[in-house]
Amino acid sequence: MDNIRLTIHQMYDDSFSLSQRMDTLLQPLKEKAQVNFTNTISDSIPITIKYDILTICKELTTNFMKHSNGTQLQLFLLEQKQPTPLIIKTMVTVQLTLPQVWD
């Protein structure tokens, strides 16, 4: 039974495409802003890292949609021999309404 479970998990791991998930995630943003997305991360990275990257990007896109009136978003996922950086550049103005607590 454990062998079957392991085989199924490996099949799912192999079929999880970070690029496809990111394209799906970024699609709604394209209605609001110009999106430039670059991904050089191979699909051979561990699935846990793929999920981590996807979760960070989901938070980014949610915040951009809810709190930004920006018109451009640049997202670079670059695989390197050192730790992989996640680079996010936005051209945004964030509108916040703060209570006036000063004179």
Express each pLDDT in 29-85 by its tens digit. 898 899 999 888 887 788 888 888 899 889 988 988 888 888 888 888 877 776 656
Angle among Cα 16, 81, 91 to the nearest 5 degrees reads 75
Q: What is the mean pLDDT of residues 97-101?
A: 41
Q: What is the predicted pLDDT for the residue at 88?
A: 66
Query: Model pTM greater than 0.75?
Result: no
Element (H, E) at 74: strand 72-77
Tell me: pLDDT of 95 over 60.
no
Q: What is the predicted pLDDT for the residue at 83?
A: 66
Q: What's the pLDDT tens digit per position in 19-41?
A: 899 999 999 889 889 999 988 88
Structure tokens at 50: 């793929």
C-alpha to C-alpha distance for 20 and 25, rounded to whole angstroms = 9
